[in-house]
Structure 1
Amino acid sequence: MKLWRVISFIPIVFGILFVFNSNSAFSQDVNRISRQKALNSIAQQYELSKQKTLPLSKRLAYVSSFLEVAYLYQQDSLIYNGLMQKTMLLGMMKNYDSAVIYSHKLYDLAAKNQDSFYLGISLIKLGVYHNKNNQLTEAFKYHNEAFKIYKAMKDSVMAGKSLLNMTNIQKSLGDYSGNKTTAIEGVKYLENTDKDLRSLSGLYHGISVANREQKNYEEALKYNEKALNLGIDSVSIKKIGQRYILVFKNTKANILASQGNYKEAVSILTQLESDVVVRKSMREYARVIGNLGYVKWLQNPKNTTSEKLLLQARSIRDSIRDVDGLIASNIHLTKYYLTKNKEKALQYAEAAYQNAKELNSLTSILESLGFIFQLQSDSNEEAKVFHEVYIKLQNINQSNREIYAVTKYENDKLTNENLILKAETAKKERQKVINLLGTLILILVGGLVFYLFRQRHKREKIRDVFNAETRISKRIHDELANDVYNVMTQIQNNQHSHDVLDKLENIYNRTRDISRENNNFDTGTHYSEELGNMLSSYSTNETKIIIKDIDIINWQSITPEKKIITHRIIQELMVNMKKHSHAALVAVSFRQTPKNVEITYADTGIGVDKNEIIFSSGLRNAENRIKIIGGSFIFDSEKGKGFKANICFPN
């Protein structure tokens, strides 16, 4: 009986298992069908997010819903598409902070999957949106990382495009030397292919603009022609974009105007003004008529159309909130009114400064401030001069009254004898004046000779120090460094301790650094170039160097001794920055007044306590050097607030 019960129970168990398995399979089928339906439904949402006829807010809502389902079912391919679309829409809405957040999500997913393609795209997006947010250092960093990835992938087109993004950032920072170097590197990746003519033309254009800013007008025209010549037919023009071709023509007009060829520049701009494509874009039209008004003013300051064109361009740019264009318009109007109406000139200079602050454009801030200081200084100086002239006129008038009173009295009261006596007395007085004047001239000549001998002695002393430094550095390089290197080689061959080798190599590198820092340099016609190259040599991926207005200094009029001391002091600041500051950005600007040369150094490094500055031997040496040529060296710093220094010496 028990056996029958057990046997009869077995079919029931199998039946239950069969039903359970059937239900499980059915459940899986249902889930699979449900999942497929969900994925099919969100495909429509993704397509709707791409419809340009819909408002951006609706398109963003569609792609956000699409992403929710893609994340729910962990479909990486869909998540990639959703993040790409969402970051693009956020950028179009100028919500750059959110665009950065979702670009980071794209980067994280690509990094997890080790997907180089999307890694590169996410880095470019991060660079673009940080740039739009005026975070230029961060933007440059991301574009540089993208360049490294594309270089490793041997994708020359995307590598060149990344370098174009980097050169545009350098241009906006006023780093025209760095801008040109990066652009030339980018050309190497793109000039042998026709796959991205727009980026290649952009690189040529960047080199052209940099040369114009550095006053190398022939080179500027050469690269401008290279950019224009890429658009030789309708196909290539379509690849580059008609708008970019028009920008290149506009730049050509600016270069010609800088050369003084106003007639040809006006001809190009007049043709552009009537171009149909230009007139369809308010931004481009404002750019053209603004430049046309400015060049016409340069050609003939008394013409009647410049003011109208300049004000019209500014009005258009203000209506479309073209902040970059407003800076250009306000600077043009500042220059236009500079000699005509200083009050208006100051008004437009201050407007340019506000626009530049809004755009966080370092070069435009410096340019607009330069005009503001000039105009404020001019007005103060003008008031001072008028006051001095007024006092002088009062004194002259008072003297004339006194002379007139005395003369009238003498004419009425004095006799001929008295007049003769006065004449003799006057003769004696004249002789005394002549003797006094002769003595004074002798003293002045003697003082001048003494001063010249003293200056000559100072120059000889400076040159002796310079020659001694050069000899020491040569000896360190030729003797000490090479001897250390020989010892390193011998130790390596005998397989001695690696610690000793490392220490010797450290000593060797330090001696080579000392040699480089004290090396000889040209104090003649190429001094400006050598000084700029020395500053640029400290530029790295982590540290960007901005050099402003080095070429406006009349270096030919400055003595070699002053050039030597200037070079050494600036080099000391750069070495100090490299060793201690860890700055991401360094700005060195030059300014020449009728009496002095002023050099301003500022970095964004970690700074240092003022007490530590006082005891710094390098900065103390710099201060002692500048005193030799009658200059001053003022520095300021706080921990966490960077380092600033001002160098000033007589012309």
Structure 2
Amino acid sequence: MNLPFQAQRFLLFFAILFTAIQLTQCKKVASAENDEFRNLVDSLNTEAFSNIIDKQWETSFLVAKKSDSIATIHNYKKGIAKSLRIQAYYWNHKVKLDSAFRVLQQAERLEIATKNYVGLRAVYNTKALLYKRNELYDEALEVYQKALSIQDSSITNKQRSTTHANLGNVYVKKGVYDVAVYHLQQSLLLNKDDTTSRQTIKTYTNLGNVYSLSSDYNLAEFYYKKALKHYKNKENETEIAKLYNNLGALFYEKNEDALSLEYFKKSIQLKEKTQDSSALVEGYLNIAELYSDRNHSVAFEYLDKAENHLQTTEKASYLAKIHLSKAAMYQTKGQIAKAKNELKKAILLSKNQEKLTFERYLVKKQAEIAFQERNFKNAYNYRIAYEKLNDSVFNEEKLWEIAALQKSAQAKMKKIEVASLEKDRALAEEIALRKQKENEQLYAYLIVFGLTLCLVSVIAFYFYKLKKTTSQLAKQQELLLQERIQNLVNNQELEIINATLTARSKEKEAISKELHNNIGSLLTSVKFHFQAFDENVLKAHNGTKKLYDKTMQIINTITMEIRSISHRFDQDPIPEFNLKNAIANFSEKVQNERLKVHTAIHGLENFQNSQISIFIFRILQELVNNTLKHAVATNLTIYITKNTDHINIMVEDDGKGFDMQQHFNGIGLKNLRKQVQIIEGNYHIDSNKKRGTTVTIDIPI
């Protein structure tokens, strides 16, 4: 039976439609099943990580292995990589670094294959953390730098900020404080939009620690207090207590005992409230040390408090320190019998400790007490023992250095072995993957061939229509091309006109910028210093007050006149100068007894672009001028950091702030916007009446 041609076409179309629907339905079912298994894998990985936090290592490992198996069956590579990272923590806990780095190498390969750069960064951070915990700092720095070098839009500024903070902490461990400060400052800059985040506040504390270690106590105090302010807003009493303790130690190093004692006591009060026994004992010992030279009874009182808290925790090392402190004070008071009794207790408690420095100090005290008793023979013997322990400490330090070098060499050898094994494993997996791809391609070819046979008749039927449509499209494209060319010509003419207008307006702007930025700034500085005259001096003579008022009136009149002229005109070329020296000189001129100016400049030593230097200096003049006139600030901080492709400027004061909407069209802010726009930069102003003003500017180079 011969069917009509139209009926044949209808049946063919129906068969193709039915096949397509069936294929779509199969894909939907498979996709739903995959989503279900992926959710299961993610849930298992979350559970395994929670077990690590709770230190349930065996349970965590079993859950991670289960997640790994399910993810492998369903080819969920992201889930496999995450479970491997969790297994690495387990192997590190078992002190099997080769196994830990082997699974991390597998995870790294999976993340690279799937181009999951967020996961790859997590792998690098995990690997670096394990190196850091095992005191392999050079290896940790290398891996953190790899994490930092990942250039992809999926990596957020917050994640880069965390990596910079981690790098800074490793450099602190190595004692390279200047590089540590650079990375911690970079962390703050990348996280500048969220100044109250946990990462930012922690970075403030770390900067305080670095500056304290490098004996820059003023900057250390600045960052400690900055972190303290944020923790007080968050009512985090544990961190507030730690910062009080840090400030107490800082003022102790500065020999400011009164402030040191005040902060130690504040720390103690919070620790007593949070029932932190070990932290309380450290606080009591700190206060006892402060009172040891001035008031023995108070010192003994705090040592007894520390001892009472240790009766339940049973920490022999702390008890030994307490008895040794008591022995030293009894010795100072001349109560030798009591000093010997406390010293015996300290010796008994320190027997199981392998700390030669502590044992050496005990022997030294024994020698001093024996000498006070005029028992010169024992004093001589103890002195000989003390000298031997000195040699032992030196030898022990050398042995530790050798052990560290051996440990580093072993880690490098294991790293090479793991890399070799991974290379062989990768080769085997690549062969298996090629075979799998060949089978998948063959299956795909068969499906395509079948569909092609079904669709060839329809394609032939509509071929002539496609040809006609192609001809019409070609004509339309030709018309569109002509229209686009005409638009380009019009745009080019507009650009020429705009360039001409811009050149004319720049002539008018030149005088305004010079008047407002330079002469206006100097007049403001004169007015500011002139107002600093002591009231008593002004009252000493009747004529002095009148002269003072008249001079102030003249200065105000000149300032208003300059501002008026500046509004009628609107970047001035100045000679080339060293930007870093210019900023330093400018800061010295501005600073006075009411305003402290802090500067932190990084990376400008070899910067030679004079035009950008001019812009930066003029912008700083404008910002500092606004602070002097309006902020009523006591501290002004200038940060300038040169990066690869831009220079970052941040000016921060603790003044009264201002309302952005009311002052948006002021001439100062107007000039700032224009200067930044000229060099295609961007800026951000954050002002609050409670915490002052922060201006951040990025200038491309």
TM-score (norm 1): 0.46
TM-score (norm 2): 0.43
